Chains A and B, each alone.
Chain A
């Protein structure tokens, strides 16, 4: 682990491990408790594999009552808990702690209700993202957010991370597609937010829970809205001599009032890696490649393809192909979808970043990345959710070369600083987790972070749930709670009038 400070293990908890494991076996009988080191190995990291840690014990509850009991037990005894879905987080959100119970929600794997009248599905949190679509596709419906890990990632994890995907430009993120949840607070209380109705009452706690990275509560049920599948989808594959022209093409498409179902960009290294890997037929003599997917009724898609082709031509595209069959559309996507493994073939290791920038800053950020690439002596390939400005630079390194991981991480941190500098953010969809935790002050000052921690204090005042993630420095809630204003010491001792 490269210099990442995690909360100091609690000695009292470590000493009582046997007793805690025994109690967990009573609360979650059957196969639900794993405490042997070799069996816990499977849980020692998530998708951010550079970090590994065995937990105190792994617990796999099956009922809401068990989750509630385990959390209350831990709360009463000051034992930390790390929740985990499928463990596909790319930011270390589910990284275990040595002294924490790892609460794995994978046995919550049932779809509870499918309601086509209201177009909602109620699922347990361990159901995979794709599992929801699978359950409703025979009726022509689907669940829109499609993170690339959708085969494996769980819907509960999607809520925790506010997952996106290539279709979120048009159809929104997880936060826009979840109508309700049931969750258990650290103190064991079960709370329901929203439901099958379209807006939840009171404060938007559902909005706060979505993307809270497992620090506020453990999701035990999710209600999502489903959509009717578009009649058709076709894609355009457009090559440009410069990334500036590709970026301007994206701006002009949106300027023309068109919101494509997906709009992806790849830079030269990514194009070449992908083409070498899957032979998607990508042009190799371009600096930037756009995939623009249009979906809807055939007549609409045909109409928009005409408009997009004209816009691409005006922006100096050197190649523009439109898919003539579903097979061809999928082949356009094959390279993009294989971009990560493709880069994995040309480099022993790669490190995937996730900043978002205002789209118009793309040329500046790409130029900055080239400079950084030279400075660090590491290659970088870029795939980019062009429509919404979400960049995924893939930094190429070799973990077996001493110091390269540290170099890659420094390179990545510099890229994210650059994103923030041009008006963007540290993470578009992968989450802060442990990975970007210490970069939070690049974006937020202490007062900003304090407000976020105050939300945490309302949910989990003793910082027992997933500590060490998101916040660079934990401040005690009692300390945060103090008011620092005193009569007579503010700017306006008399009533101010403006």
Chain B
């Protein structure tokens, strides 16, 4: 067991080239804040990128920032904040949910996991903001893709290919992101006491208006008490975030209040409380309970999420809350069994989507596909891509799909093949 701690892209290249020559798998690590996500690996060595760190270029007027992949996300976010800017995709912090420290994680990890947050509805995810990368493939080849400008269709977008690849295709060395102005003002309108289906209707109404709602979450009864230090109380809270310039926010909040005047009791939340509510929704704080009880991250068409959850509740005790207008469902199982087959079957019956088992014991993560099993043709295509970039299967082997021996693609053990 050796841990490589490169400080330059050239050192990353020689490490990966060595590992490829030796057929020696590497676990690719930033701060390790998301290490517990994915199938458990048995990599011989670790490639720790935490010292490949530093912002290389930041030009606020050009809305662009380049950094080495191991640069702490927190460092980048505070640099941007000093200039009134932000990563608009609002990358979540998995640390607290997975029992780690808060505010860890690197900018490379944010892309590799395609992080996003409550602003997903309006601003997209890391994939929507990445402009360019430099990386080392599992063949031990250093390559670049994209650039530092927003509009670029020169060649295939390999930068996006890195999003949600969890370090299985290439080791990122540099990343360049689009950055955007941070909103001047943020106000949240909460509708209190709604059941899930009423909340879904209210959120759809709000998002279908011209109020430019940037985030919409629903915290059912009791879950609401677990955000912002309990300041919301325990009644269900359906949250609509409005961001922008002061006069515009005031106008749109007024318009939303008028639109939703019959939906339920309305409450306006501003300032630091609004900020911490959305930070806690982003980080799945309600389920950051220090346990290893299974937590699922489910993505579905927004209007279908609550129907699936209702059906699931009939068969398994779960806690749930919703972000993205109901399209992102966080589920915590009340018992030890992740109930993967049941959940994935219900998702298929409610219009499709996918479920990721983001928290579970290592034994469950070894036994249950953590990432949604794909239809056979798509799984085969993904495996061919993996084989092109990492033919010896040395980069995070087995983390996303079963390892090399089955890279030609065993259909999923449960659920996937339809």
Of all chain A residues, the one with the shortest Cβ separation from B324 is: A198
CA distance A492 to B244 in the complex (A): 53
Tell me whether A196 and B143 are in contact in the complex, defined as CB-CB below 8 angstroms, given that A254-B63, A491-B17 are known contacts.
no
0/1 per residue, B204-239, Cβ < 8 Å to A?
100111101000000000000000000000000000
Interface bin, chain A? 35 or more
B151 contact from A229, A304, A356, Cβ within 8 A: A356
Which residues of chain A from 376 to 398 have any CB-CB distance to chain B below 8 Å in the complex? 385, 388-390
Tell me whether A496 and B139 are in contact in the complex, defined as CB-CB below 8 angstroms, given that A175-B160, A303-B245, A485-B20 are known contacts.
no
A63 at the B interface (CB under 8 A): no
**Are A203 and B20 in touch, CB under 8 angstroms?**
no
Chain B hits for A175, CB < 8 A:
128, 157, 160
**Are B385 and A203 in touch, CB under 8 angstroms?**
yes
A203 contact from B140, B169, B377, Cβ within 8 A: B169
**Are A358 and B141 in touch, CB under 8 angstroms?**
no
Chain A hits for B51, CB < 8 A:
498
Q: Of A75-83, A279-287, A335-343, A427-435, which stretch is located at the interface?
A: A427-435
Tell me whether A389 and B153 are in contact in the complex, defined as CB-CB below 8 angstroms, given that A118-B303, A360-B62, A485-B17 are known contacts.
no
A229 contact from B59, B141, B210, Cβ within 8 A: B210
CA distance A432 to B4 in the complex (A): 39
Q: Which of B63, B144, B209, B328 has the most CB of A within 10 A?
A: B63
A368 at the B interface (CB under 8 A): no
B372 at the A interface (CB under 8 A): yes
Chain B hits for A30, CB < 8 A:
none
CA distance A357 to B59 in the complex (A): 14
**Are A202 and B372 in touch, CB under 8 angstroms?**
yes
Of all chain A residues, the one with the shortest Cβ separation from B252 is: A297
Chain A's nearest CB lies how many Å from the CB of B25? 14
Q: Which of A230, A447, A454, A456 has the most CB of B within 10 A?
A: A454
Chain A hits for B163, CB < 8 A:
204, 207
Chain B hits for A119, CB < 8 A:
207-208
**Are B154 and A458 in touch, CB under 8 angstroms?**
no
Does more than half of chain B's interface fall in helix, strand or loop, or is it mixed?
mixed
Chain A's nearest CB lies how many Å from the CB of B58? 13
**Are B327 and A360 in touch, CB under 8 angstroms?**
no
**Are A451 and B11 in touch, CB under 8 angstroms?**
no
Chain A hits for B301, CB < 8 A:
115, 118, 120, 195-197
23 contacts between A and B (CB under 8 A): A116-B208, A118-B204, A120-B301, A175-B160, A176-B124, A198-B121, A198-B324, A198-B328, A199-B120, A203-B164, A204-B162, A205-B381, A207-B163, A251-B62, A255-B61, A257-B184, A358-B62, A443-B147, A447-B141, A450-B141, A485-B140, A489-B21, A497-B2
Q: Which 4 A-B pairs rank lowest in CB-CB distance, beginning with the nearest?
A: A207-B160, A300-B248, A257-B181, A428-B151
Q: A204-B164, A440-B155, A447-B143 are in contact. List 12 more A-B contacts (CB 8 A).
A: A190-B377, A191-B378, A197-B300, A197-B354, A202-B374, A205-B382, A257-B184, A444-B144, A448-B155, A451-B143, A458-B381, A483-B391
Chain B interface residues toward A at CB < 8 A? 2, 4-7, 11, 14-15, 17-18, 20-22, 45, 51, 59-64, 84, 114, 116, 120-121, 124-125, 127-128, 137, 139-145, 147-158, 160-165, 169, 180-182, 184, 204, 207-210, 212, 244-245, 247-248, 250-252, 255, 299-303, 324, 327-328, 351-354, 356, 371-372, 374-375, 377-378, 381-382, 384-385, 387-389, 391-392, 400
